Amino acid sequence: MSTRRILLLEDPHQWGGVYTMTRTLVQALSAQGWQVTPLSWQQTPWAQLVDAAKRHDVIVASHNFGPTYCGAALKAITGKPLVSWVHGPLLDVLHEVGTSLLKKMWLKLLYQQVSQFVCVSRTTQDSLLGFITLGKQQCCTVVPNGIAPMPEGQTIHVHAGHGGEGTPPLLLGYVGRLSAEKRPHLLLDTLRFLPAEAQLGIVGDGPIHRKMVHDGLDLMHQGRVHFLGKHPSGASLYKPWQMTLLTSRYEGCPLTALESLACGVPCVSLPIPAMRELYDLDAPYLLARGDAPVALAEAVMTVLNLPEQQVRDDMARIVARHSVEGFVREWQEVLHTC
């Protein structure tokens, strides 16, 4: 079965899970002999985009907003099939930003132009299909994110002291954007329910950074919270910690959690649907029993008391189900059907 030429429309941002997965897809398909041309839908002249679409067999939008809008216009001009990659639960995303009824109606019309949707999880697929009804010529496939080998990355300096009387510190980490949908403020309250030796390193930046610094001044003065800024992706973001924490309001197929597990570091999360989908089969103890910070703190202590080998084995099974080999194989099947 011959490969097809792929035009991939991407955002210019060079950070975040969508960017990481877009790079993973381009590299994995290229390694299999596919011709993949990534172009920024915002920074590439329109005439060049139209010419590229004519010269390729399939248009792939790196996510279901801006790139898909552009892809729908290119499909209308060239007739080439359009694949829209859906990363997050659409209904939650639209609710979070307060999308108007008019915009939702427009989106439903625009999504009728998509030939095939690729969702990163069943959670994401269920949300998409709760928003639209697929047409007769449309289909929707679940292709979970795949974890490629991670570079070591830039070393981060961990400020680790003692909890008192020689007690070794319990080092916890957070890697992600400091924005409302990630609910990072819950990290501070979680830390207050943990023993004094627990410390939290926060890697990332975002619009609520200043508020978090203000709200966490007491913990910073105690040496328990450290804001470490943005760092390039790599294993070094996870390996300093004994556990990472995830407090998001919603996720699709959370790359931070997968990367943490791939580095051998448990990621403890609030029990949102995407995380239940990821953990329920192998490691339900990585999920808090409720949405409150105290429940997340209790989950941290539960994991600490489990046999290390059990936790490592459970994490390895989860990571194995998200191999980059399986990821690219399923994407190739999608692209061959377009």
Q: Do 291 and 270 contact (CB within 8 A), yes or no?
A: yes
| Interval 171-202: pLDDT, tens | 999 999 999 999 999 999 999 999 999 999 99
**Residue indicated by tokens 């913990």:** 219
On the question of pLDDT at 164 being above 70, the answer is no
Distance (Å) of CA 273 to CA 63, 88, 122, 248, 253 = 20, 11, 9, 11, 10
Name all domains of the chain by residue range, CATH numbers in brackets: 5-146+323-337 (3.40.50.2000), 170-320 (3.40.50.2000)
- In which band, very low, low, confident or very high, does the pLDDT at 49 lie, cut at 50, 70 and 90? very high
Please list the residues that pair with 6 across neighbouring strands: 36, 58
| Interval 226-249: pLDDT, tens | 999 888 888 888 999 999 999 999
| Interval 3-27: pLDDT, tens | 789 999 999 877 788 999 999 999 9
Supply φ then ψ for residue 294, to 5 degrees. Answer: -65, -35
Return the pLDDT at 156: 76
| Interval 249-299: pLDDT, tens | 999 999 999 999 999 999 999 999 999 999 999 999 999 999 999 999 999
Task: Return the half-sphere exposure (C-beta side, CA atoms, 13 A cut-off) of residue 84.
Answer: 29
pTM: 0.92
Distance (Å) of CA 212 to CA 28, 108, 180 = 38, 37, 11
Return the pLDDT at 165: 58
